[in-house]
Amino acid sequence: MSQIGTTAGVVTRDADSRETGGREAKTRAEDTSRNAGRLLRPILMIGGVLLILLAVLLYWLFTGGSVSVTDTYVKAARVNLSTDVSGLVEQVAVHDHEAVQPGQVLFRLDPTRFVVAEDAARAQLAEVVQQIHAARHAYEAQLAKIRVQQSVVENDRLNYQRYASLVHGGGVTQSDYDDAKFKYEGAQADLEAMQAEAGVDLAKLSGDAKIHTADTPQYKAAAAALATAELNYRHSIVRAPFAGVVTETEHLQRGMYLPAGTAAFGLVSTTDVWIRAQPKETALTWVKPGDKVNIHVDTYPGKLWHGVVASISPASGSSFSILPAQNSSGNWVKVVQRIPLRVAITSGPTGLVLRNGMTAEVDIITGHQHKLSNLF
């Protein structure tokens, strides 16, 4: 029994020793792991910060060649159609949202009074031509009379001179001398009157008897009146100035009176389309006309148009406001301005219509690259 007890005690001590050894090994492993964690934590923190800084630096270095602008819109040439003559609307030849071609008739005014005015102006021109011809013939006839009258005056002058030399010697009576004098003076007065009448006829010919009819002021005035009447008639028929789509045609109805200069309806171009952007002034450092542009229109996700910077406004958008900012006060706050910029579209997907007012985003490829030396 003593031997058995001794053996059991040895076994118990060995088990306790192994358990103690296991706890010590576990403790040492936990201490090692804890020490490794203490060393790894600052390495990960510092490394993470360095990775973020490196990523930011790489992004800054390789993204300096483009400028993104989200404040952009599709723009198209647009006109409110009107005419410079007044009249009753006789015909509206198009419907709302109808595509039209250049020169296509859009609407007409009643042509009656324009035709009457044109006929009257044409008749006035013909009358002026007759008056000019009559003045030319009258002037030529007056010259012929003047030549005859000059002969009469010369004859009366000679008779008067002979009578004057004979009256003192008694060769003619005083009465005959007086008659010759009065006759000569009368003939001279008649000659002057004829010359004055010829001057009036010559003035109608602008002082040149051989002047061409079309060069006279009377003819030019009448021709201008006829041209104005013809122009008014042409302007009573309104045609499309460019290819596009008409809008709000219901505002114009047949039979209504359209005053001169009143907008009838709108026309939006389908060919003259561009992008209008308003980037911040701080984004325009390296942007210049001719830079290539990538265009993304919100209406067509995933589609890409290409263009170039056509022009950059010489002034900020606020410069054209009715009440521009006054910066002379003591409480002035600096505000980043926006500069209008126009992008010409050079190519893009076919079959997709760009409409005036659509929102878009553009990426301007400036070609500028940031350098590390810029940081110092």
CATH class of the region 112-235:
mainly alpha
3-state DSSP of 102-132: CCCEEEEECCHHHHHHHHHHHHHHHHHHHHH
C-alpha span between 319 and 329 (Å, rounded): 18
Query: Residue 168: pLDDT above 90?
Result: no
Distance of CA 81 to the CA centre of its chain: 15
Identity at 320, one-letter amino acid code: F
Query: Residue 5: pLDDT above 50?
Result: no
pLDDT at 80: 94
Residue 273 in 3-state DSSP? Answer: strand
Helix (H) or strand (E) segment spanning residue 275:
strand 265-277
pLDDT at 26: 62
Question: What are the phi and psi torsion angles at 294 (to 5°)?
Answer: -100, 130
C-alpha span between 337 and 282 (Å, rounded): 8
Res. 185 pLDDT band, cuts 50 70 90:
confident
Identity at 278, one-letter amino acid code: Q
What are the CA-CA distances from residue 179 to residues 140, 161, 162, 192 (Å)? Answer: 32, 12, 12, 20
Query: Residue 10: pLDDT above 50?
Result: no
Query: Residue 374: pLDDT above 60?
Result: no
Q: 253, 256, 260, 245: which is closest to 96 by C-alpha?
A: 245
pLDDT at 1: 47
C-alpha span between 313 and 342 (Å, rounded): 8
Chain position carrying tokens 């505002």: 251
322 vs 264 pLDDT, higher one: 264
Positive or negative, the CA dihedral 259, 265, 269, 274 is positive
Q: 7, 233, 6: which is closest to 108 by C-alpha?
A: 233
Query: Residue 347: pLDDT above 70?
Result: yes
Domain boundaries, the chain: 1-62, 66-81+263-375, 112-235
C-alpha span between 67 and 69 (Å, rounded): 7
pLDDT at 369: 65
C-alpha span between 242 and 79 (Å, rounded): 10
Q: Please tell me the pTM assigned to this model.
A: 0.65
pLDDT tens-place string over residues 248-307: 999 999 999 999 999 999 999 999 999 999 999 988 888 999 999 999 999 999 999 999
pLDDT at 85: 95
pLDDT at 187: 85
**224 close to 53: Cβ distance less than 8 angstroms:** no
Query: Lowest-confidence range among 32-46, 64-78, 214-228, 328-342?
Result: 32-46
Residues paired with 97 in a beta bridge: none
pLDDT at 282: 87
Res. 12 pLDDT band, cuts 50 70 90:
low
Res. 310 pLDDT band, cuts 50 70 90:
very high
Q: What is the overall mean pLDDT for the chain?
A: 83
pLDDT at 11: 45
Q: 332, 221, 248, 224: which is closest to 79 by C-alpha?
A: 248
Query: Residue 146: pLDDT above 90?
Result: no
Distance of CA 259 to the CA centre of its chain: 24
pLDDT at 331: 65
Distance of CA 248 to the CA centre of its chain: 22
Query: Lowest-confidence range among 143-152, 167-176, 181-190, 339-348?
Result: 167-176
Q: 317, 374, 318: which is closest to 342 by C-alpha?
A: 317
C-alpha span between 80 and 232 (Å, rounded): 19
pLDDT at 71: 85
pLDDT tens-place string over residues 82-140: 999 999 999 999 999 999 999 999 999 999 999 999 999 999 999 999 988 888 888 88
**Mean pLDDT, residues 163-171:** 74
Question: What are the phi and psi torsion angles at 81 (to 5°)?
Answer: -70, 135
Identical fold for domains 66-81+263-375 and 112-235, yes or no, is: no
Query: Residue 240: pLDDT above 70?
Result: yes
Distance of CA 89 to the CA centre of its chain: 28
Q: How many of the other CB atoms lie within 10 Å of CB of 38?
A: 9
C-alpha span between 366 and 311 (Å, rounded): 14
**Mean pLDDT, residues 222-228:** 96
CATH among 3.10.310.30, 3.10.20.600, 2.40.30.170, 1.20.1440.230 for 66-81+263-375: 2.40.30.170
Q: Report which listed range, 40-44, 103-107, 180-184, is most confident.
A: 103-107
